[in-house]
């Protein structure tokens, strides 16, 4: 029994991909921008990157070299910074985007593969203050804004500005969905005033208690981009969410030893990604591609 548990633990803590060529590529594919495949099994040609510091934003963990994306994503990140600055909310801290050519990462995320995902920290630097040094940006730790035993956000750490930022992002037409911790979602449900349609794009998901994750829809220039099912109708402030928060609260009050979940097999990458990785032109359309359906909420 113990041996089985130990070997499971080994599997879980081992890097997702022992020898990951996608993580070693330092620069973008030179082709025209195209997203190929899905969010959790895909890659990216012609990526753009976000400068380390810009108006109203700063990249975190810049040494990871994960601040690449489809030009639409880069534009979106810069826009979020500019809007936060215009509203006087402070400087937005941008977490991981994608690797230079996308693809699976050695650690940290299952998605973020196709240049359409970006994380934002639940932390803002005060308006007008200088950006963090590169060293600070590389080493700062993420702090949870959620207090699971009480089923609510931690008032010392949560700011209504995060709600404003989430609304701003959700109202952008290019944003497909946003992931937040279920307790964050419930807080947004409780505090939302007026129009509530944007809340439907904000999806409760495990983790995401120290950052939120924005996912853009497939761009028009990428016919091989695999879309996710559309978000369900409504604002998502429902019974199911209440039940989930209650489960989290109960589990936090009665902690049990964590059982490692079995590792998930990596999804198959579209064949055209081999060319992207090698820096060759992506083969033209008409080549049979497996239709991959990303899972998730
Ligand atoms: Zn993310």
Q: At what angle do helices 71-87 and 160-170 cross, to 10 degrees?
A: 140
Tell me the CA–centroid distance for residue 48 and ligand 1, in Å.
18
Domain residue extents for the chain: 2-254
Tell me the CA–centroid distance for residue 97 and ligand 1, in Å.
8
Distance CA 138, CA 217 (A): 29
Evaluate if residue 140 carries a pLDDT over 70. Answer: yes
Name the CATH architecture for the domain at 2-254: 2-Layer Sandwich (3.30)
Q: Which residues surround ligand 1, an ion (CB under 5 A)?
A: 119, 213
Tell me the CA–centroid distance for residue 130 and ligand 1, in Å.
26
Distance CA 162, CA 170 (A): 12
Confidence of residue 171 (pLDDT cuts 50, 70, 90): very high
Residues making up the chain, counted from first to last:
297
Contacts of 215 (CB under 8 A, 6+ apart): 39, 111, 116, 117, 175, 176, 177, 178, 179, 228
Percent residues over pLDDT 70 in the chain? 90
Tell me the CA–centroid distance for residue 55 and ligand 1, in Å.
22
Give the mean pLDDT of 154-180. Answer: 97
Tell me the CA–centroid distance for residue 179 and ligand 1, in Å.
8
Distances (CA, A) of 111 to 76, 256, 291: 18, 28, 17
Tell me the CA–centroid distance for residue 116 and ligand 1, in Å.
10
Stated pTM of the model: 0.88
Say what the pLDDT of residue 297 is: 52
Give the mean pLDDT of 244-253. Answer: 95
Say what the pLDDT of residue 59 is: 98
Evaluate if residue 28 carries a pLDDT over 90. Answer: yes
Tell me the CA–centroid distance for residue 20 and ligand 1, in Å.
19
* pLDDT: which is higher, 236 or 268: 236
* pLDDT: which is higher, 108 or 166: 166
Tell me the CA–centroid distance for residue 122 and ligand 1, in Å.
13
Contacts of 111 (CB under 8 A, 6+ apart): 39, 40, 117, 215, 294, 296
Tell me the CA–centroid distance for residue 252 and ligand 1, in Å.
23
Evaluate if residue 285 carries a pLDDT over 70. Answer: no
* pLDDT: which is higher, 30 or 16: 30
Tell me the CA–centroid distance for residue 287 and ligand 1, in Å.
31
Tell me the CA–centroid distance for residue 112 and ligand 1, in Å.
7
DSSP state string for 230-275: PPPSS---SHHHHHHHHHHHHHHHS--PPPPPPPPPPPPPPTHHHH
Evaluate if residue 92 carries a pLDDT over 90. Answer: yes
Tell me the CA–centroid distance for residue 180 and ligand 1, in Å.
10
Least confident of 3-12, 38-47, 125-134: 3-12
Evaluate if residue 267 carries a pLDDT over 90. Answer: no
Tell me the CA–centroid distance for residue 4 and ligand 1, in Å.
31
Tell me the CA–centroid distance for residue 2 and ligand 1, in Å.
33
* pLDDT: which is higher, 286 or 236: 236
pLDDT in tens, 190-215: 999 999 999 999 999 999 999 999 99
Evaluate if residue 33 carries a pLDDT over 70. Answer: yes
Average pLDDT, the chain: 89
Distance CA 290, CA 65 (A): 29
């Amino acid at each position: 029994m113990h041996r089985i548990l130990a070997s499971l633990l080994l599997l879980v803590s081992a890097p997702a991909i022992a020898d990951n060529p996608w993580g070693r590529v330092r620069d973008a594919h030179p082709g025209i921008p195209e997203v190929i495949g899905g969010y959790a099994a895909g890659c990216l040609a012609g990526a753009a990157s976000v400068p380390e510091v810009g108006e109203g934003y700063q990249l975190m963990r810049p040494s990871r070299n994960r601040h690449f994306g489809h030009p639409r994503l880069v534009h979106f990140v810069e826009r979020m910074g500019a809007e936060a600055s215009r509203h006087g909310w402070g400087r937005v801290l941008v977490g991981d985007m994608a690797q230079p050519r996308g693809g699976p990462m050695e650690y940290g995320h299952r998605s973020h593969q196709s240049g359409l995902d970006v994380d934002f920290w639940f932390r803002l630097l005060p308006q007008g203050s200088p950006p963090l040094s590169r060293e600070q940006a590389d080493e700062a730790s993420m702090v949870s804004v959620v207090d699971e035993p009480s089923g609510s956000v931690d008032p010392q750490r949560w700011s209504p500005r995060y709600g404003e930022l989430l609304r701003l992002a959700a109202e952008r037409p290019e944003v497909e969905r946003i992931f937040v911790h279920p307790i964050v979602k419930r807080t947004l449900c409780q505090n939302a005033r007026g129009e509530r349609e944007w809340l439907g794009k904000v999806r409760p998901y495990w983790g995401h208690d120290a950052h939120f994750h924005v996912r853009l829809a497939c761009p028009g220039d990428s016919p091989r981009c695999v879309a996710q099912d559309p978000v369900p109708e409504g604002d998502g402030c429902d019974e199911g969410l209440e039940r989930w928060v209650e489960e989290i609260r109960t589990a936090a009050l009665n902690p049990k030893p964590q059982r490692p979940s079995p590792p998930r097999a990596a999804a198959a990458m579209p064949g055209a990604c081999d060319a992207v990785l090698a820096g060759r032109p992506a083969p033209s359309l008409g080549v049979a591609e497996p239709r991959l359906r990303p899972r998730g909420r």
